[in-house]
Chain A
């Protein structure tokens, strides 16, 4: 028996009505690999990571990314990187950065001499 649908597109598919669909329709990796997409909105701005596309090749990834990540608003450029080629840190290794904000000697705010100057101005050494 064919499915009777209100949707003319579905009627044209002439689908069989079945009681139960099979457990697996898709085989592993049938939707290919993933590519990370980087999007640049305007010249002068940086590219930012906006998401992924599934694609069989970098060129095809670009074909897909153009519409999935560039179909609204402004875009001037995109990059595509195979997810396999990205070496990402573990969040567990966050501790390598933990003390960085404490290293005031790398920070302009770490150098305060106004007190010294004021003190000097009040002192006898100041002519």
Chain B
């Protein structure tokens, strides 16, 4: 699911593009400009490699951590149909993490190092998963709207320049569309259901609306250094464009079943054709990135426990002559 629209970047780690061989750099950029893909063992600028690892790794972390707030409800899903669907959905998130870690591995960072950096906090994941999922209706809102937001982002990224990431996203987008459908189905059943069910889903949307508005990251006016990434087709769409696209597609789908979006200022300006909304609290956004969200500590502790508890299984199965090589594609 969830290629978090916003990708955290530590600017101190930026490498200097001017140090690259100008001829190789020109050839590399020309290839991308022609619409050709970059493949794993191609020459690439160090900054391109770093940015891609950062982006794909954070996407992978978002999938594996994203499996937790929804996994919460697997044991409580009401009825066979919902139980099976949610199990398959959360399983897909784990599957997506596997595909994305594999794509990032082709760039030379091992899966073990990526997971270590997830757990020790050096690498981030989408902020939305640091919020608790309190009721069954949260499964509806996550599956419907956060997966929808992720699809907007991932469809854009699937046209990027790095072959393995595009290939992974192609499959992921297909599976996400199942997630969106199942989320939307729960959302509609609750919204058109009993007063209790309606209240549940309204309450869930009220709690999730701000994290959803955070999802694509701050306005492009506030963020920096995206020009090179756009030229390299690492970043494929601006935060504002993606947010507008999301609002265009999904605000009507929320409103058509009588659920109220908790922002009195949300409206489409007929002159500019752009959505206007109350700016979400960006201080909270940065606080959550720093690790101070309601569930950051729990999410990392759970991920660590899963790795710790599996250690004996992995160690026991490991062959003495094992020798890891970088995967091909």
Complex interface: chain A residues within 8 A of B115 (CB): 25-26
**A56 touching B111 by the CB < 8 A rule?**
no
**New A-B contacts (12) at CB < 8 Å, excluding given A10-B298, A72-B175:** A5-B298, A9-B71, A21-B119, A21-B300, A25-B308, A26-B113, A26-B307, A29-B322, A34-B105, A51-B99, A57-B317, A83-B328
* A31 within 8 Å of B (CB atoms): yes
Query: Given A10-B302, A18-B301, A86-B328 in contact, is the A24-B116 Cβ separation under 8 Å?
Result: yes
Enumerate chain B residues within 8 angstroms of A54, measured Cβ to Cβ. 111
Q: Is the interface of B mostly helix, strand, loop or mixed?
A: helix
Give chain A's interface residue range (CB within 8 Å of chain B).
35 or more
Residue from the list A20, A31, A68, A83 in contact with B112, Cβ < 8 A: A31
Q: Are A6 and B72 in contact (CB under 8 A)?
A: yes
A sample of 17 inter-chain contacts (CB < 8 A) reads: A10-B68, A13-B305, A15-B305, A16-B301, A21-B120, A23-B120, A24-B116, A31-B314, A32-B314, A33-B323, A36-B329, A51-B102, A51-B168, A56-B318, A68-B98, A72-B175, A84-B325
B39 adjacent to A91 (CB under 8 Å): yes
Complex CA–CA separation, A36 to B325 (angstroms) = 12
Q: How far is the CA of A34 from the CA of B106 in the complex (A)?
A: 11
B283: Cβ under 8 A from any A Cβ: no
| Bound Cα distance from A85 to B120, whole angstroms | 34
Instruction: Using CB atoms, name the residue of chain B closest to A21.
Output: B119
Report Cα–Cα, A101/B212, bound state, in Å: 51
